[in-house]
């Protein structure tokens, strides 16, 4: 079994609850979707080889000799995407689901297709790395394949980038729009000052860093509404962190949307 296969196997097992969380990775929630979201947060800062080692220890598995030697993140991201494009590697058959009286609510109901796309991407940093690669290369075929794998839709890269560039214009509340503008200014300033470690900590949801910053940052210190809950609800839980990451990695955002003739 190759590294991608093991990675997907352990990810699925943790989300489904068939594998106990390994040492140093705390999961919460009962439903697979909730466990997937907590797993995303828990894996920030954990490398793929370290994750696989921990899961193998928790499962009592022996890893093949040399499996993790010479690990390369970009090569792994490409291989992972290839596996997902083919429908995934060997996965255990899920137990039959008992018919419920009423269907479970769709967590994506009412969401824009681009919001669903962003949610899927944020579940795995390797998908984000692949997205950056195809956008910088203007690889439209690669983008279509990625959108098919994640949302089963043919999304247009130009429309997606225009939508993400103007994300706050589609916000549901004035509070979200204001938060997006304020935090973008704050993060852009941190980036210009070379404080990317602070920016990365903010985007990872580090509350201590945010609380410390709001006492010093000119954008936040005189803004009573700028609590961590405000930041989390209106920025972290939306699509703005992905936009900032793409900007930092050289992805260009269109100011206008070209119309086809």
| pLDDT tens-digit series, residues 138-167 | 999 989 888 888 888 888 999 999 999 999
Range in 44-48, 60-64, 248-252 with the lowest mean pLDDT: 44-48
pLDDT score recorded for residue 176: 94
Q: Which two tokens stand for residue 245?
A: 């990451």
User: Which pLDDT score, from 0 to 100, does residue 94 have?
Assistant: 42
SS3 per residue for the chain: CCHHHHHHHHHHHHHHCCCCCCCCCCCCCCCHHHHHHHHHHHCCCCCHHHHHHHHHHHHCCCCCCCCCCCCCHHHHHHHHHHHHHCCCCCCCCCCCCCCCCCCCCCCCCCCCHHHHHHHHHCCCHHHHHHHHHHHHCCCHHHHHHHHHHHHCCCCCHHHHHHHHHCHHHHCCCHHHHHHHHHHHHHHHHHHHCCCHHHHHHHHCCCHHHHHHHCCCCCCCCCCCCCCHHHHHHHHHCCCHHHHHHHHHCCCCCCCCCCCCC
* Per-residue pLDDT at 81: 60
Rounded Cα–Cα distance for residues 35 and 31 (Å) = 6
pLDDT at 47 over 60: yes
pTM over 0.85: no
Tens of pLDDT, residue by residue over 26-43, are: 777 777 666 776 676 677
Where do the domains of the chain lie? Answer: 3-71, 113-167, 172-237
Closest CA to 251 of 172, 104, 138: 138
Confidence of residue 90 (pLDDT cuts 50, 70, 90): very low
Does residue 248 carry a pLDDT above 80? yes
């Amino acid at each position: 079994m190759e590294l991608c296969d093991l990675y997907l196997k352990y990810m699925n097992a943790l989300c489904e609850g068939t594998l106990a969380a390994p040492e140093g990775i705390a999961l919460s929630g009962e439903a697979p979707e909730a466990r997937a979201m907590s797993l995303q947060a828990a894996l920030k800062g954990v490398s793929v080889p370290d994750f696989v080692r921990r899961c193998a220890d928790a499962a009592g598995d022996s890893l093949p000799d040399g499996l993790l030697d010479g690990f390369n993140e970009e090569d792994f991201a490409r291989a992972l995407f290839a596996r997902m494009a083919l429908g995934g590697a060997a996965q255990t058959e899920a137990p039959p689901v008992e018919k419920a009286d009423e269907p479970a609510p769709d967590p994506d109901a009412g969401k824009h297709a681009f919001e669903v796309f962003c949610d899927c991407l944020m579940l795995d940093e390797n998908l984000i790395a692949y997205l950056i690669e195809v956008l910088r290369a203007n690889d439209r075929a690669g983008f279509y394949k990625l959108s098919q794998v994640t949302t089963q839709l043919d999304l247009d890269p130009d429309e997606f980038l225009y939508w993400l560039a103007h994300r706050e214009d589609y916000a549901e509340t004035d509070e979200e729009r204001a938060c997006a503008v304020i935090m973008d200014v704050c993060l852009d300033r941190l980036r210009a000052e070379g404080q990317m470690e602070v920016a990365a900590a903010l985007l990872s949801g580090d509350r201590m860093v945010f609380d410390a910053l709001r006492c010093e940052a000119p954008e936040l210190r005189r803004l009573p509404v700028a609590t961590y809950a405000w930041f989390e609800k209106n920025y972290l839980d939306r699509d703005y962190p992905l936009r900032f990451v793409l900007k930092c990695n050289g992805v260009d955002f269109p100011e206008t949307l070209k119309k086809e003739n």
